[in-house]
């Protein structure tokens, strides 16, 4: 049985998150996760035509024989030769392909943050204490790479939890640079190279904005083009949950890096490698079974 299904929407069991599709003379039932059902519920009206990617193995769910929906590929309303398309993942994938192929310099960057102590952490505020980045031109040629520790100012003495998690010592952080020095370096890169800034997840951008506010510095980073590579993966592959950076690398490279220590430079380098694999997927130069 094919894992691609399409047909006219026959009915919706909203309380069970099940939709029914009529195929010729039979009706089949398909179950969706809470998030997926919530995002597409507005389209689920009788007469809509849906295209699904499903798990071919059926199961019983609340009295119905259902197939789990992996992805919704397309939703349209038939209208002669001019159907109304409400959702089409192929159009979204085309947009993502445009983003990753855009002829721009790219900055792959990662931060490590200080962590609260095990006790008396109520007033703690995290700070960026390590940065690593790789700057490339539009062809992928490296322009510059950089890594450094950054001295925290609110809590100069890092916690034992931070030392354990990052496998570092206080002396390494004490030998780092002031945050303003990194700020000036990033400002220079932005003015002279105007790169697309690739990060994995949203935390790095949030922490950067917070640091600029803490140090009362002009937050030029709000005008930079940040690209969340994690979100691109989730959208492109239809993933329900977040994926770790090293899990993504393991899928592409078939190499287990999950035991690596947390290091900003290493993470920035892996982000660059994951981007290169992902761009190859978007350009149909590489195939991966991300669901598996």
Give per-residue pLDDT as tens, 183-217. 999 999 999 999 999 999 999 999 999 999 999 99
Is the pLDDT at 24 greater than 90? The verdict is no
Residues 6+ apart with CB under 8 A from 283: 97, 101
Round the average pLDDT of the chain to a whole number and report it.
92
Is the pLDDT at 1 greater than 70? The verdict is no
Is the pLDDT at 8 greater than 80? The verdict is yes
CATH code of 35's domain: 2.40.50
Domain that holds residue 268: 102-282
CA 229, CA 274: separation in Å to the nearest integer?
9
State the total domains in the chain.
2
Whether 93 is in a domain gets the answer no
Last residue of a domain, one of 88, 120, 148: 88
Buried b (16+ CB within 10 A) or exposed e, 151-174: bbeebeebbeebeeebebeeeebe
pLDDT for position 192: 97
* % of the chain surpassing 70 pLDDT: 97
For the entire predicted model, the pTM comes to 0.86
Whether 96 is in a domain gets the answer no
Sorting pLDDT into bands at 50, 70 and 90, what band is 278? very high
CATH code of 195's domain: 3.30.420.10
pLDDT for position 254: 76
pLDDT for position 240: 78
């Amino acid at each position: 049985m094919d894992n691609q299904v399409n047909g006219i929407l026959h009915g919706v069991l909203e309380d069970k998150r099940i939709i029914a599709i009529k195929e010729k003379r039979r009706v089949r039932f398909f179950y969706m996760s809470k998030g997926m059902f919530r995002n597409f519920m507005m389209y689920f009206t009788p007469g809509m035509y849906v295209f699904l990617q499903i798990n071919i193995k059926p199961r019983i769910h609340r009295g119905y024989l259902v197939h789990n929906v992996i992805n919704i590929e397309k939703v349209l309303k038939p209208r002669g030769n001019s159907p109304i398309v409400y959702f089409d993942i192929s159009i979204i994938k085309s947009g993502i392909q445009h983003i990753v192929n855009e002829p721009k310099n790219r900055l792959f960057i990662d931060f490590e943050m200080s962590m609260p102590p095990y006790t008396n952490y109520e007033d703690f505020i995290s700070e960026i204490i390590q940065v690593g980045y790789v700057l490339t031109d539009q062809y992928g040629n490296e322009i510059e790479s950089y890594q450094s520790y950054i001295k925290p100012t609110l809590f100069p003495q890092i916690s034992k939890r931070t030392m354990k998690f990052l496998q570092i010592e206080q002396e390494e952080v004490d030998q780092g640079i002031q945050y303003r020095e990194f700020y000036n370096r990033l400002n220079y890169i932005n003015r002279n190279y105007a790169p697309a800034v690739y990060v994995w997840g949203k935390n790095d951008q949030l922490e950067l904005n917070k640091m600029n506010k803490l140090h009362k510095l002009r937050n030029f980073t709000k005008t930079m083009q940040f690209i969340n590579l994690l979100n691109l993966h989730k959208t492109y592959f239809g993933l329900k949950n977040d994926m770790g950076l090293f899990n993504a690398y393991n899928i592409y490279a078939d190499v287990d890096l999950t035991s690596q220590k947390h290091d900003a430079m290493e993470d920035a380098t892996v982000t660059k490698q994951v981007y290169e694999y992902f761009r190859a997927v978007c350009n149909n130069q590489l195939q991966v079974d991300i669901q598996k």
